[in-house]
Structure 1
């Protein structure tokens, strides 16, 4: 129940921030399309430490594919 309330509060705050960023009668600003670089990798052993290091380098985990020893982790980050 507490998790659900926290999620609802976060969504509400996000909507309020979005609503406040758009002026009445003006279209929202159009951002240039982001360019991404991708990386996939297999991990063995303690995955938490390696995943944390990837996050510190700007990589975001976007998918996990496969099962068992063939499992691959797919990451993306903005191109510099």
Structure 2
């Protein structure tokens, strides 16, 4: 006799016997959506429009990081303070 964790009419993400214990199918899934799924749900348009808007957003974030944030933070980081012995 095969015992299935799934009921025939259950189309949810979690197995029936595991839901009562708060355990999902994957160990890292705790019922909350991540940041990227929240952004994806709130973007307008269909999948292609959302993908295009996502690429534009990523490009803008990378541009701002390289043009403003990283040059501002460079003097604060000790990457140029290296000591190499002559051998």
Structure 2 length-normalised TM = 0.25
Higher strand share: 1
Higher RCO (C-alpha 8 Å, min separation 6): 1
* Larger of the two Rg values belongs to structure: 2
Q: By percentage of residues, which structure has more helix?
A: 2
